[in-house]
Chain A
Amino acid sequence: MGHETEPTLFEMSAPSRSAYQLRTTGLPDTALGDLVPTAHLNDDVVPVAEVSERDLVAHFTRLSHRQFSVDLGMYPLGSCTMKYNPKFCDAIAGDPGLNGVHPGAPASLSQGWLEIMVTLEEKLCAITGMSAATLQPAAGAAGELTGLLLMRAYHESNGEVRRRVIIPDSAHGTNPASVTLGGYVVTTVPSNERGLVDLDALKAALGPDVAGIMLTNPNTVGLFEEEISEIAAAVHDVGGLLYYDGANLNAILGAVRPGDMGFDIVHMNLHKTFATPHGGGGPGAGPVAVASRLVDFLPGPRAARGDGGFEWVTPSRSIGRVHGWHGNSLVLARALAYIDVHGGDGLTRVAQHAVLNANWLRHRLREILPAAYDRVCMHECTLSATGLKAKYGVRALDVAKALLEEGFHSPTVYFPLIVDEALMFEPTETESVQTLEALAQALERIAQRALDDPDSLHRAPQSTPVSRVDEARAARQLIATADSAR
């Protein structure tokens, strides 16, 4: 990877350099001062950058060389599902017949898009066992909050005010953050010694003021909540709703559906399960599917089949818009293309191979990184560096950093919170057994270094473009722009 520090665009700028070229319009070049009142014009020139096209290209190309990516190698990040992003899906998104359409174009002029949305919605419902879905939420967390607002609208329609939402102690941080924004208070229930929701504790926490429960299944440790039907019954018995955090959907495609488990609201992360690219942190998409009793509350407008075509409809008791337009449309199109390529059988094999890979890795690594729960896992395995820490003072963080100089990205570390020195590996189904074996050998080398030279692990990585960074300094004196005081 590129080891030279790269100057910023601003450091590369020189007065009068430029790259832009615009159409010849033939319009008169009227001065702005003749078009708008000068009181609105900025007396100063806002500096952007002044670089040539050649330098622009070199700059961002060199930056790209200082960046790990799925195309380059494996990201075994638990709960992130960093599978291969098919280039074919990118090509779909690159079609001007899709990406050149204004979102405000009338339905009659955008029938292709409406059909994409209706089709995707139907297929996502088939996959999850739900009745209808909104495609508007732009990410998983957005889906969570949308789901909580649906819960609220549902209970209000029954004349009920509910105050609490239950989440397990292993929940992803977006869950409690979303609960707060949904106007609810979090009640946390503990996990039992099997790493699963403690059913007795859950029943004790339930009451008529519980709006619902948010669960991931398999859970954030990578284990299937075997008592899910009992959990669903208990929550439904007090009139609560079940919310499914779809982060781990990749494990169960074609094997079991959230709707059949008893979930009322399901969000999916298209940038995980459905292979849309992560883009360095986004865009994603977080469609939310619901059981039939919640369909009328869905965000609108939504695409629907109409007379001889497709149209926008707003559900009768819609909670309203949750996005400025229709959601992350191009991400939706990519996901539909991915589903179409796989079909039902293909998606079933995706889950089977994802679970196979995670279990193979868990078993292969058992001597150096024991699993937190010693039994069959699903698509991810949570291992622990507790032993390495106790014997050699080498922590999960050190293992994660050392892996970076072995050509792999780190696994998820220190999550979920219920496992000490957690290292959560999700290989995904698109990695070959050779890659998994290479990862295992890299970890074995790290384990050996823990014995021979633990200090080198505390200093790792050394061969990457930068070594460990001073995070305290970054927070202590925030330098968020090139213009910040230094």
Chain B
Amino acid sequence: MADYLPHTKDDVEAMLAFLGMDTLDDLFAHIPAAIRLTSGLNLAEGLSEPDVAAVFAGYSAANKAKSTTMTCFAGGGAYDHEVPAVVKALANRSEFVTAYTPYQPEVAQGVLQALFEYQTLVSRLSGLAIPNASLYDAATALVEALNMAHGATGRSKMVISSGIHPHWRQVARTFAAGTGHEIVEVPLLDGVTDWSSVDVSNAAAVVAGYPNYLGVLEDLTTAKALAVEHEALFIVGADPVAAGVLKTAGQWGADVFVGEGQAFGTALSFGGPYLGLFACTEAQVRRLPGRIVGETVDSSGRRAFVTTLRAREQDIRREKATSNVCTNQTLMAVTAAIQLGWLGTYGLREVATRCAQGAHYLYEHLMRLDGVEAVSTQPFFREFALRLSKPASEVIELMAERGVLAGLSVAELSAGADSSVGIDIERVLLVTVTERRTKAEIDHYVKSLQGALQG
């Protein structure tokens, strides 16, 4: 068994003697005997690191869908983007990895400045002035945005497009049980939000996706107008990679932007840790959830960064805090700043463009196949939904045998409950192409799907 404890037997004896005690058990003598464990924990004995490595190698081998052996065309908020060696090296520096939350700024300028740079980038990509220093993921960031809308308007009705990712909507429903918010989901028609079908009166928030989770580019003018008319906050869940070339949330008139930052330097990671991006207008700054880093000076007038507007946070405001968030996803935020620094202004545009090019190239070729139909006739950016002649989950299994992770089953994503993709949801497959996909990989996808649908 291995451990990381430095004390020798002699150390322990001497320390116990210093305390006037005989055994380590003496330290626990005041714990009532009735609840004291006497026979130890019901766990196997510890193993050495190499032994544990062998166990984990087994888990690793049993994951057939790893991006090193199966080409990834699955998206849905989690994307297989290029993460270079230099980003991994910098983001894995132990000074960033093993740092604590920067509450003592004198010894935390590294993390604080990296977060300031991250905040700047979130602000630019969202087109909104006030970013925060990260939340857990996009889904929980949306919940924080809804809570902000309630705080801003005093109202509890949240009108959410069904173009918002099903998991985010599910999470919103879960937390609404505590806040008492009413979640109203607006159906899609031809892959676009059918705002005419819903009553937006008394809404605290109007929420739309851009692109929506089916990849469709919606004109957000209607949603914005509805929000303005009903004095609700306009919340946009936008793809931050696409924000390199598309209109920003701010340009659409959003009051709040939420998004998934995994795309910037974080591996697929089986879903986490990811990165909840959040930004809002200045008007909402007092309701901002989570930490925010600000620039100031030290006692010598040197530029310094510090967590600020702390009176909003849980340790100070307690039951009146804007959120209960304490630990967030700082390391992923620092990673995002590094990745965006590596991509740069034009690299980000190039990645976004290549995603669109690859997605449209694949789409055109798939449309020529029998047994493949588009779910929406509307323009898409880097992701699209297809209705196939076989169940999507079956097609995914068949294409996996050909080394392709074909996409996501929309029925699985929405737990079968999303009627807005129309009939036969089990046959709907959500497909994405990132800048990592080559023409050869995409051509292989087309052939594989063709094979999977035949017979």
Contacts and interface: CB of A to CB of B under 8 A. Distances in A.
A254 interface: yes
Nearest to A95: B60
Contact of B340 (A49, A68, A319): A49
A113 B285 CA distance: 39
Contacts of B326: 139-141, 173-174
Interface string B330-350: 111010011011111111111
B369 interface: no
A36 B31 CA distance: 67
A343 B343 contact: no
Contacts of A126: 41-43
Interface string B49-93: 100110111111111111110101010111010101010011011
B27 A352 contact: yes
A324 B168 contact: yes
Contacts of A278: 98-101, 327
Contact of B47 (A84, A283, A340): A340
Contacts of B84: 20-21
B78 A103 contact: yes
Contacts of A299: 174
A216 to B, nearest CB: 14
Contact of A471 (B1, B16, B308): B308
B413 interface: yes
B272 interface: yes
B324 A144 contact: yes
Nearest to B3: A346
A229 interface: yes
B86 A415 contact: no
Given A53-B342, A342-B46, A68 B58 contact: no
A31 to B, nearest CB: 9
Interface residues of A, number: 203
B2 A280 contact: no
A75 B303 CA distance: 25
A470 to B, nearest CB: 5
B53 A145 contact: no
Given A101-B63, A469-B296, A40 B124 contact: no
Residue from the set B7, B94, B104 with the largest chain A CB neighbour count within 10 Å: B104
Interface in A33-69: 35-37, 39-42, 45-51, 53, 56-57, 59-61, 63-69
Interface in B346-384: 346-351, 353-354, 356-358, 360-361, 379-381
A432 B116 CA distance: 36
A49 B379 CA distance: 30
Interface string A199-234: 000000000000000000000000010101100000
A115 B59 contact: yes
Nearest to B147: A181
B195 interface: no
A109 B302 contact: no
B356 A35 contact: yes
Contacts of A478: 130, 285, 292, 294, 308-309
Nearest to A405: B106
B304 interface: yes
Q: Which 5 pairs between the two chains have the least Cβ-Cβ distance? A: A325-B271, A67-B110, A97-B60, A279-B331, A343-B46
Given A94-B92, A480-B295, 4 more contacts: A23-B436, A97-B60, A126-B41, A283-B332
27 contacts: A6-B109, A32-B245, A57-B89, A64-B93, A65-B95, A95-B56, A97-B63, A99-B269, A103-B270, A104-B412, A106-B400, A111-B64, A140-B327, A145-B175, A319-B177, A320-B170, A322-B140, A322-B175, A324-B77, A325-B272, A340-B52, A346-B46, A360-B15, A471-B306, A480-B119, A481-B116, A482-B120
